[in-house]
Chain A
């Protein structure tokens, strides 16, 4: 057991930004939300997965919507608790712990704010080990645990609780509602018992995010290469260093989709749908989802989100291995390249690079 106070948020947000693989939203707004919540309600207690009692009621709290919208339409601040209370009313019992659904990006921070507001402890782990764009792309789906009942609340005070026949249906219905509600809502869902956490979560990812953010900060302070420091923590590989020369994007169905082209020694093309999903170097695929494709500012090592990608930025693209459960046939069906409409198979990093284990 330990505590997350305001002084830990900068490192955590930076690391979560890197694990966001370009998506998950800029954690800046999330960091401010967490900071204001901790300032008002005090630090948040964090437990390792092993420390959570078997009969605990663990609820994932997250934000859903388009990241650019969160940057512009800041939350009312009531959304998380409204969603949590709506879920508890349907469950008939109170939540005992809160857990991040995704460690990448702003959804690492929303649960911290929610835990501070609710006065509940947080679990060190998440259901993705990175960021993914859709609600069913979580390890509990692989273990057959439903993500519903799912409660959704917007800034205006509207709430919605859905009970669906599959996790995919929960995504479809709540996404449509999210668009109508203004493209930025909070969700409380995916209720896990304490004894389900080992199968349903990637463990210790809050700690990983903090260590990653700390390594980059320290490397920069020591005039060392911050990208190298990030690679060392992640056990990843460097794919490309160059300059962004073109970014094409469009928002469809509540997602920011597009392509970015980088030039350096050769070219690298990134395809993204909120997250970076595919990297082609000189026309050849070099990394795919569900492995992590992260874009870092070459000089500072700061994560660059897909919405911040713009002409002239000097960036380094790195790749890191996903949780092994995503590389299973069922995992790839949920979050592999073909699911996102790319006509190619998963090209695992593991086995191609000695440093990736």
Chain B
């Protein structure tokens, strides 16, 4: 048995999955300020006292960035002078976030040209002066980026050694070559975000572990990553930024699992927004090009999701329009069916007999027809915008707010699978494990790729993936010119289903 938990901004959802893959129990409980209480309550609600693994997906870290709250000011150290001075770190950030995150910015010597030769020599004295300033400012987390660190990480490592020696183990260091790909600003941004989240990650991961202990569960704990694979607790503490897009990924993969479909549109209706994504072969379609997270440009690979402001808590205006304003987590206090005074989208669904929540008697006579039709039209329009061909596309509805929608105009096949309301927790529970290869190969392209792919598959299997379930999900080649023998840096990611027997063993 395994437990999947989704810790959202409003609710903490959980699902207990049996060894045969069946959903044994589900629960929804409010997210608590301390995280621990909500997770412990969710596990208690499942009635589970043991499990072979616990997988947690959380929007906790991305929410912190979106809200510009709970972030630690960062010392951003960039190595590359005299290059890069035209565009210093944090150059294209929104002001509000920049104020929350900017501790200090340092441009230093070091870094490499495209072929690995140094731009300028790393200056230990300069870095020691930077360390003294970081200490004087009381900054506790540092992002280190260096030009072409995906080709040569020497500068970042040397600078990290010097800073660590000066600042001691209490100061966190995040190194850009461990976090992102080629593209300095996007990689550096992700590294700065990671650095800003490190203290919160430490506290949150500890709270998760505490919740498991409270519930008496002694099982390995994993966190979901952006690409639908799992990472262990130690990794999560150091790379919180890797969880950023796990919410939509989990909900889409959970929808695929519950519906049995691998190619479909997934509509996840929550309290405030409706997120529409597309599944191809069981995996979310990725956003093209730059990925903006809270208006910060990164080069993460994240699912292509279209959000519209309609959810179960959306406020219905007197003239019949719905959203984008929402009562959010106050739904159970403010909606008419719960004895409140605000007409919400949930009240419409109850009045139409599409759902039974709260007290249906409180919404008799509410005009539901026109606003519900508007909701269905707007959701259908969003799905239509995401589709890439006119071919019939099944639509899977998930999330607590999906009771708002019965039929969608233009879509013949609309389903709401069992356990739709906790699809994201199910998605976390069925998350996969990955294996990655990232190194310089020499030789002809075909044999290089084949060799690297085999190695990635083998690594995924060693990490706990069931043999035969592993497939290649990402291939990136970075040719290194002017090195002998067609040297190419190859980065390949393989993922497969977690084999619980391997964990038990």
Residues of A within 8 A of B (CB): 28-29, 32-33, 36, 66, 68-69, 71-78, 155-157, 179, 182-183, 223, 248-252, 254, 297-300, 302, 304, 308, 310-314
Contacts and interface: CB of A to CB of B under 8 A. Distances in A.
B445 A68 contact: no
Contacts of B21: none
Contact of A71 (B182, B476, B481): B182
Interface stretch (B52-60, B80-88, B408-416): B80-88
Closest 7 CB pairs of A and B: A77-B86, A155-B83, A74-B84, A251-B481, A182-B113, A75-B86, A250-B479
A78 B86 CA distance: 8
B366 interface: no
Given A28-B290, A72-B148, A249-B477, A182 B114 contact: yes
Given A73-B119, A299-B388, A183 B288 contact: no
A203 to B, nearest CB: 30
A77 B82 CA distance: 9
Contacts of B84: 73-76, 155
Given A250-B486, A312-B286, 10 more contacts: A68-B114, A71-B183, A73-B80, A73-B119, A74-B84, A155-B84, A156-B119, A183-B113, A249-B479, A252-B481
8 contacts: A74-B184, A77-B86, A77-B87, A156-B83, A250-B479, A251-B480, A299-B288, A313-B288
B213 interface: no
B119 A182 contact: yes
Contacts of B86: 33, 36, 74-77
A297 B289 contact: yes
Nearest to A31: B92
Interface string B70-88: 0000000000111111110
Interface in B474-505: 475-477, 479-482, 486, 488
Contact of A302 (B183, B185, B285, B288): B288
B204 to A, nearest CB: 32
A167 to B, nearest CB: 25
A297 B82 CA distance: 35
B96 interface: no
Given A74-B184, A251-B481, A299-B388, A304 B113 contact: no
Which residue of A68, A77, A155, A249 has the most chain B CB atoms within 10 A of its CB atom?
A155
Contacts of B16: none
A312 B303 CA distance: 12
A71 B87 contact: no
Interface in B308-322: none
Given A252-B481, A299-B388, A314-B388, A74 B119 contact: no
A29 B481 contact: no
A183 B147 CA distance: 13
Contacts of A313: 288
Contacts of A74: 80, 83-84, 86-87, 147, 184-185
Interface in B155-204: 182-185
A21 to B, nearest CB: 17
A98 B385 CA distance: 42
A68 B479 CA distance: 11
Contacts of B476: 310
Nearest to A310: B476
B299 to A, nearest CB: 10
B82 A156 contact: yes
B445 A72 contact: no
Given A32-B92, A68-B182, A72-B184, A77 B85 contact: yes
B443 to A, nearest CB: 13
Nearest to B488: A250
A68 B66 CA distance: 30
B467 interface: no
Interface string B114-141: 1000011000000000000000000000
B24 interface: no
A271 to B, nearest CB: 16
A75 B120 CA distance: 14
Contact of A314 (B92, B288, B479): B288
Which residue of B87, B147, B297, B486 has the most chain A CB atoms within 10 A of its CB atom?
B87
Nearest to A66: B114
A73 B184 contact: yes
A251 B111 CA distance: 21
A248 B445 contact: yes
A73 B185 contact: no
A69 B297 CA distance: 18
Contacts of A157: 82
Which residue of B85, B86, B488 has the most chain A CB atoms within 10 A of its CB atom?
B86
B479 A300 contact: no
Contacts of A312: 280, 285-286
B357 interface: no
Contacts of B184: 71-74
A304 B114 contact: no
Interface string B100-120: 000000000001011000011
A77 B185 CA distance: 15
B479 A69 contact: no
B333 interface: no
A156 B91 CA distance: 21
A304 B91 contact: no
Contacts of B480: 251
Contacts of A298: 388
A76 B111 CA distance: 13
Nearest to A179: B482
B58 to A, nearest CB: 26
Contacts of A311: 475
B85 A300 contact: no
Contact of B91 (A32, A179, A252, A308): A32
A33 B183 contact: no
A73 to B, nearest CB: 5
B288 A36 contact: no
Nearest to B477: A249
B87 A29 contact: yes
A150 B479 CA distance: 30
B82 A76 contact: yes
Contact of B183 (A72, A76, A77): A72
A183 B480 CA distance: 13
Contacts of A32: 87, 91-92, 185
B87 A73 contact: no
A252 B429 CA distance: 46
Contacts of A183: 113-114
A297 B289 CA distance: 9
B400 to A, nearest CB: 28
Contacts of A248: 445
